[in-house]
Amino acid sequence: MADYTDTIRAFIQTEMAGPGSKVTLSPSDSLIEKGIVDSLGVQRLIAYLEKEFGLQIADTEIVPENFETINSVVRFINVKLDAKG
């Protein structure tokens, strides 16, 4: 399983945490509870993942378990990439 933690963290911190944000995220921090990802943020993250990793993310896969933390996003990406072959 590939580790995309730094890639995902960098995108979230630079593109979603807000300009000049000093937020430091650990891989297990709740993105939702910290106010980093809301419903619009999830859509931005999905668009990034689809483009960056060549994925197709179905509406049924847009659930909190897949986008709650950086760790959960990394797990989700790896599952999708493994299924893609």
pTM passes above 0.95: no
Distance CA 46, CA 79 (A): 15
* pLDDT band (50, 70, 90) for residue 14: confident
In a domain, 25, yes or no: no
**Of the candidates 29, 31, 27, which has an alpha carbon nearest to the alpha carbon of residue 44?**
31
Q: What residues make up the domain containing 50?
A: 5-13+32-84
The total number of structural domains in the chain stands at 1
> What pLDDT, in 10s, does the model give residues 15-70?
887 666 777 889 999 998 888 888 888 999 999 999 999 999 999 999 989 999 99
In a domain, 80, yes or no: yes
Domain with 45 in it: what CATH number?
A: 1.10.1200.10
